[in-house]
Structure 1
Amino acid sequence: MAEDREESLEKRRAQLEAELATRRVEAGKEEAIEASAEASRKGYAQAMKLSSEFISAIVVGAVLGYLFDRFVGTTPWGLIVLLLLGFCAGVLNVLRAAGRVAKPDPTEHRNGGK
């Protein structure tokens, strides 16, 4: 009777180990899927940030150019110039945010560029 009990305990332990192994494999797959989804979400967030910075710089340049033209009367040159400056500022902001262009060092300005 003791042998039957030990055999049944061994069978039960072997079944539990097999079940734990399958659940560990499933958990590993779920973690890999979640990591992939997290990377995708970070990519979308970065893309939204970069596109909004670019578009907002262009819009600000256009609005300032329009207002400049309205008050000074230089139509359409103020709008054209400030729209182009806004475009350049937007490209520079995107390149800085993406890490392609270094941000200006504030200590270099204080030391006179030396």
Structure 2
Amino acid sequence: MTDQQKGSLEDRLKRLDAELAEKRRTDGAEEAAETRAAESRTGYAVAMKLSSEFVAAVIVGALLGYLLDHFAGTGPWGMIALLLLGFGAGVLNVMRAAGMVASPHPVDRLAGRDGSKTKDGA
């Protein structure tokens, strides 16, 4: 009777090993699919961020140009100039966010101040 119990235990152990191996394969496939989906969501989020930055810059330029034309009476020229300026600012923002153009260094932003001098004034 003990030989029969050993045999049935070994059979069950082999069956459980096979089931575990199958489960591990399906878990690996599910993890890979989840990783691909996470990468896709990340790419979509970056695309939405970049496009919204660009559109916002163009809209702000157009709105400021319209307001300039309305209050100063300059005709379409303020709208045209500031719309083009907004377009340029949008392209620059997208390129900075994408890492193609470095953001300005803090010292460069303070160009008129003592950015080139050392602490002891020399």
TM-score (norm 1): 0.95
TM-aligned CA distance change 1:112 to 1:66, over 3 Å = farther
1: distance between equivalents of 2:109 and 2:79? 31
Q: Structure 1 residue 7: deviation in Å?
A: 0.6
Residues 33-60 of structure 1, C-alpha deviation per residue, up to 9 Å, x if partnerless? 0000110111111111110100010000
Counterpart residue number, 1:20: 20
Report the Cα offset of residue 112 of structure 1. Answer: 4.0
Query: Counterpart in 2 of 1:4?
Result: 4
C-alpha root-mean-square deviation of aligned residues, in Å?
1.3
State the 4+ residue runs in structure 1 displaced beyond 4 angstroms. none
Identical-pair percentage: 58
- Structure 1 residue 81, shift from structure 2 partner: 0.5
TM-score (norm 2): 0.89
Q: SS of the residue aligned with 1:83?
A: helix
Question: How far 1:108 sits from its partner (Å)?
Answer: 3.9
Whole-angstrom distance in 2 between the partners of 1:112 and 1:74: 41
Which structure features the higher share of helix residues? 1
CA shift digits 1:67-111 (9 cap, x unpaired): 001111111110000000000000000000000000111134442
Gap regions ≥5 residues in structure 2: 118-122
The SS at the match of 1:75 is coil
| Paired residues, number | 113
Q: Secondary structure at the match of 2:74?
A: coil
Q: Distance in 1 between matches of 2:59 and 2:92?
A: 15
1:42 alignment counterpart: 42
